[in-house]
């Protein structure tokens, strides 16, 4: 039996698409049963529908400032669809404890940094400003504290000379599309996953010259 998964998005939906693609493999241990967006115009909704997945908008603006009412509507649809896991994939609303607690241990998120470095927004710019030599992405369980839940999987990319926010974001995004399906599969299988070899580790010793007095 495949694990039933719902995905929450707000926009482009490329991570959602990577999960849908992975789940189209008969051997994949999860199936995508529902995509929900808080934005009716999210391009990801059409991508999901094009793949034959039920995709609905639950517009947060219709609920004014009542975040819990919006989440109650989402929760009802998640349960009606028989979702067992929820994947946040570029879902740009902060969740209240109500929804987080309801899905404790069963809600995953992908974040574009190597947490605990750079929680929150603008991760690529902040990574460039900090001068880190490795950057990447993290799949973690969602808890009440934003971007602080238990880490399930990470992928690193090098930061290269001349990188801009866009080039670095694109390099990280390619890894997000590999990592999220792999992490979801591991959770759906009950935690077992392939452990990478030491040879797969990534080191990034960029040339460095001491400044002359």
**From the CB of 138, what's the least distance to ligand GRF, in Å?**
9
Q: CA distances (Å), 171 to each of 58, 137, 178, in order? A: 31, 10, 12
Give dist(CA 114, CA 29) in Å, integer.
Answer: 26
- In the complex with ligand GRF, the residue whose CB is nearer, 59 or 76, is 59
Residues near ligand GRF (CB under 6 A): 9, 11-16, 89-90, 110-112, 137, 173, 176
- In the complex with ligand GRF, the residue whose CB is nearer, 16 or 74, is 16
Tokens 């890894």 belong to which residue? 175
Give phi and psi for 138, each to the nearest 5: -135, 135
At how many degrees (to 10) do helices 165-188 and 123-130 cross? 120
| Closest C-alpha to 91, from 155, 19, 29, 157 | 19
Give me the residue whose beta carbon is nearest to ligand GRF.
90
**From the CB of 3, what's the least distance to ligand GRF, in Å?**
20
- In the complex with ligand GRF, the residue whose CB is nearer, 79 or 122, is 122
Tokens 């309801």 belong to which residue? 102
- Reduce the DSSP state of residue 109 to 3 states and report it: strand
- In the complex with ligand GRF, the residue whose CB is nearer, 60 or 111, is 111
**From the CB of 5, what's the least distance to ligand GRF, in Å?**
15
Q: Residue 28 is encoded by which pair of tokens?
A: 């994949």
List residues bridging with 8 in a β-sheet: 36, 88
Which residue numbers are catalytic? Answer: 111
Cβ contacts of 114 within 8 Å, gap of 6 or more: 134, 135, 136, 137, 138, 154, 156
Residue 106 CB neighbours (<10 A): 15
**From the CB of 17, what's the least distance to ligand GRF, in Å?**
8
**From the CB of 129, what's the least distance to ligand GRF, in Å?**
18
- In the complex with ligand GRF, the residue whose CB is nearer, 35 or 83, is 35
């Amino acid at each position: 039996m495949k694990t039933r998964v719902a995905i929450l998005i707000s926009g482009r939906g490329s991570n959602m698409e990577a999960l849908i693609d992975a789940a189209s493999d008969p051997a994949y241990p999860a199936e995508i049963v529902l995509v929900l967006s808080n934005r009716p115009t999210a391009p990801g909704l059409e991508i999901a529908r094009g793949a034959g997945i039920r995709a609905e908008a639950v517009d947060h603006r219709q609920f004014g400032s009542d975040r819990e009412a919006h989440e109650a509507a989402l929760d009802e649809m998640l349960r009606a669809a028989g979702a067992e896991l929820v994947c946040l994939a570029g879902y740009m609303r902060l969740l209240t404890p109500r929804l987080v607690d309801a899905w404790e241990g069963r809600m995953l998120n992908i974040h574009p940094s190597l947490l605990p470095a750079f929680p929150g927004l603008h991760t690529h710019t902040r990574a460039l400003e900090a001068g880190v030599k490795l950057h990447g992405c993290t799949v973690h369980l969602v808890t009440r504290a934003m971007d602080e839940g238990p880490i399930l999987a990470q992928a690193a990319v090098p930061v290269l000379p001349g990188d801009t926010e866009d080039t670095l974001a694109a390099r990280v995004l390619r890894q997000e599309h590999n990592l999220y399906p792999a992490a979801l599969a591991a959770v759906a299988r009950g935690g077992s996953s392939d452990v990478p070899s030491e040879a797969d580790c990534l080191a990034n010793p960029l040339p460095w010259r001491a400044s002359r007095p």
